[in-house]
Structure 1
Amino acid sequence: MTYAITGSAMKTSLGEDKCTCFESLCSGHSGRKRLQSFTADHFNVRNAYEIDDRPGGIDRALRATELLCDAVQAAVQEAALPPDARCVVVVGTGLRELRTLELFWTVGTPMTIDQLHFERALNRRLHTSFPVITLANACSASSFALAVAEDFLRDGAFDFAIVGGCDTITKSMFGLLDRVNPSHPDAVRPFDRDRRGVLMGDGAAAVVLESRASANARGAPVLATLRAVGTSCDAAHETAPDPAGIARAIEDAYQRAGLAPEDIDIIMAHGTGTPLNDKAEAEAMQRVMRQHVSHPRICAMKSMTGHTSGASGLVGVVTAIEAIECGMLPPTVGLEHLMPEARAMNIVNEATPVNARLAQVNAFGFGGVNAVAILECES
């Protein structure tokens, strides 16, 4: 069963709303800047892709919650969702409010345990009493949230679902990546032969899902149709991705959507810029798509937003919808020498006009938690 997307929103280091973000993406702008959240004195890496929302450069608690509330509110307003709707909110996040905990531990910033859950803040912002479920499925969290929301609607448990994703840069995760990266990247360069690793970014995104019949009855414009979300959890390794597990998620998405590889027009790649992730993604896509792997045009937007962690899948979904609506696919910035494993893939390195109908959005996380969304909309 397919579902209508009647509202969407995103915030990244490139802009406060989806229109600004998408314009910046198509212009090839980068949100990379010197680290603001905390001093980089103890790290090898000095850059990140942060949202510039700290007056005086002072970090504060509950930024992930703020970003999530902003995105959800914008999506709900676009969908004109009634506040008394039979609605569930499903949130995907990798780090939740870890930065708030860090500030509590290090400088004594006040916080309470209930602030680690998003429910109170979201309902206060929306003036609702919706149930809120939070998933922490690593970097594919918001795409998994999309799959869970789809299940809720299919089972008739709710009439509407708000799906959100959010993450902000945290000191502990920044430090972990600083140690895990075999070299020290100054920018994210997905699928490039000389890629050196990933840098973190702030981000949040949200969409509103409902049946097509519900949207028609309300007179709500449909931005796109969610055809399917394919998932897999291979648990092959803590951090190294398994091409076979990724391939299973892609195949599951095609099967659920009733599509073949040659039907896909554009792909928002996971594309983290790490040696293992990009290689595994390229191998998996060629394993599934075979001779059709060169057909879809591919964008790796983390080259401009950084890795927005649990929010990244949904940021890709919103960007894919905008790309089809506007007829333009953003470039993959910094792609100078295509890595050998991706030579058969049509990865664009400049903004490219597209006449697209079907989009694939990849999201893969630590532990082999993989999710692939298929979207359809008329350009």
Structure 2
Amino acid sequence: MIWDITGIGAVSSIGGDPEEIFAALCAGRSGLAELRAFDRGRFRATRAYEIDDRPASGLDEPGRATRWLCAAIRQALDGAGLDHDLTGIPVLVGTTFREQRSAELWWRGRAPLEPAGLYFGPALRSEFGASVTYTPASACAASLYGLAMATDLIALGLAETAVVAGTDAIPESAFGAIDRVQNRTPQALRPLDRDRSGMLMGEGAVAVVVRAADGHGGPVAGRVRGVGVNCDGHHATRPSGASIGRVIRDAHGRAGVKADDIDLVMLHGTGTPLNDVTEMAALAEVFAGREALPYVTAIKSMTGHTCGGSGLLSLVTALLAIRRGRIPPIAGLVSPIDEAAGFGIPVGCVTGAELRTVQVDAFGFGGLNAVAVVEGATP
């Protein structure tokens, strides 16, 4: 079965909608800046990829992840030519932190706590009448887990249309935890570079409208061929190359494609020493024997790690790359790691690329792995 994506929406540190984000990616423009949300003196790392939408006072405020989520969903519904009534339509929101930042602000005495606002359901009911909501909390693979669930709901005849989304704001506690566990202090997120020193967090939300590809007559931004997921529990933070290889092959099998059919891989690409080496080694094994290896790119080099929504943001980028024939570069990549040898690495934005089928990777802590295969819309 194949599923149409009929509308897309996104908000990030480099743009307020998918086209603006894609243009920034192709221009190599980064959202990296000095931390604004909390006291930089408390951390070794002092930079992040934040959305600069706070009040003029510069003070943080609650509910930002929910606000971006609603904005991305509105964009996706408008793109799909649908009204904003989601009564009976499943909405699946992948997230790592939900509204954890809002709880932190209450704990610090800087904002009142609205317990119902820590969950996205009430806001989605208020804004869109959404009566069926799910919150896959599968770490950094959450939004692609949501996509897998949505395609299953449609394939089983339990829904005709679904909205899949992802959103996260940067919580101070999570930023601090990552700051403490990384051996080095990154100044930027630099996937695949020999001098990469770790991950920096980003903010944003993303949404897509999904329907069965059954001639519904609406606009089509692209198609989902298949989604593979697994959870190996291999290690809290160290990924398993064997498990990543299995989920890639599972996604290919579900999509009805072979390794030779993949033109581009949207990497998970966190810029951490273990993730980059493991991901590229797994890809090298899966694509071994090809006459020419596919292109690879990693948008976290410009958006930061947007956590729960990161996989779906890469997927939306993939659809625009197919449509525009352009592949964004990996910002900050100077000296690629050995494991990336032979893969097509864009130096600057690649134009005129003939892209038909793209693989999208998303891997989370604890061995939560998800891979989607997408293609362009049929003319």
The CA deviation string for residues 115-161 of structure 1, in whole angstroms up to 9 with x for no partner, is 111112123222x2331100110011001000011111111111110
**For residues 327 and 117 of structure 1, what CA distance do their matches in structure 2 show?**
38
Distance 1:84 1:115, change over 3 A: closer
| 5+ residue gaps, structure 2 | none
- Residue matched to 2:367: 368
Which runs of 4 or more aligned residues in structure 1 lie more than 3 Å from their structure 2 counterparts after TM superposition? none
SS at match of 2:372: strand
**For residues 129 and 174 of structure 1, what CA distance do their matches in structure 2 show?**
31
**For residues 272 and 156 of structure 2, what CA distance do their matches in structure 1 show?**
39
SS at match of 1:207: strand
SS at match of 2:112: coil
Q: Post-superposition shift, 1:299?
A: 1.0
Q: Post-superposition shift, 1:344?
A: 2.4
- Residue matched to 1:312: 310
1:18-29 to 2 correspondences below 5 Å: 18-29=18-29
1:119-268 to 2 correspondences below 5 Å: 119-126=121-128, 128-213=129-214, 216-217=215-216, 219-268=217-266
Pairwise CA RMSD: 1.3
Identity %: 44
Q: Which moved more, 1:277-286 or 1:337-346?
A: 337-346
**Contact kept in structure 1, 2:87 and 2:132, CA below 8 Å:** no
1:14 partnered with 2:6: no
**Contact kept in structure 2, 1:198 and 1:272, CA below 8 Å:** yes
SS at match of 2:14: coil
**For residues 14 and 129 of structure 1, what CA distance do their matches in structure 2 show?**
29
Give the AA of the match of 1:255.
G
**For residues 109 and 80 of structure 1, what CA distance do their matches in structure 2 show?**
37
**For residues 97 and 359 of structure 1, what CA distance do their matches in structure 2 show?**
32
SS at match of 2:296: strand
1:53 partnered with 2:53: yes
Match of 1:325 among 323, 326, 329: 323
Q: Post-superposition shift, 1:192?
A: 0.5
- Residue matched to 1:98: 100
**Contact kept in structure 1, 2:144 and 2:372, CA below 8 Å:** yes
**Contact kept in structure 2, 1:86 and 1:160, CA below 8 Å:** no
Q: Post-superposition shift, 1:109?
A: 1.4
The alignment covers a number of residue pairs equal to: 375
SS at match of 2:323: helix
The CA deviation string for residues 166-188 of structure 1, in whole angstroms up to 9 with x for no partner, is 01111011001101111000000
**For residues 293 and 138 of structure 1, what CA distance do their matches in structure 2 show?**
35
Give the structure-2-normalised TM-score.
Answer: 0.96
**Contact kept in structure 1, 2:242 and 2:282, CA below 8 Å:** yes
SS at match of 1:204: strand
Q: Which moved more, 1:290-299 or 1:358-367?
A: 290-299
SS at match of 1:41: helix
Higher helix share: 1
**For residues 284 and 43 of structure 2, what CA distance do their matches in structure 1 show?**
37
SS at match of 2:135: strand
- Residue matched to 1:38: 38
Q: Post-superposition shift, 1:220?
A: 0.9
Q: Post-superposition shift, 1:31?
A: 0.3
1:272 partnered with 2:270: yes
Give the AA of the match of 2:355.
A
SS at match of 1:362: strand
- Residue matched to 1:340: 338
**For residues 132 and 342 of structure 2, what CA distance do their matches in structure 1 show?**
45
Q: Post-superposition shift, 1:86?
A: 4.2
**Contact kept in structure 2, 1:26 and 1:328, CA below 8 Å:** yes
| 5+ residue gaps, structure 1 | none
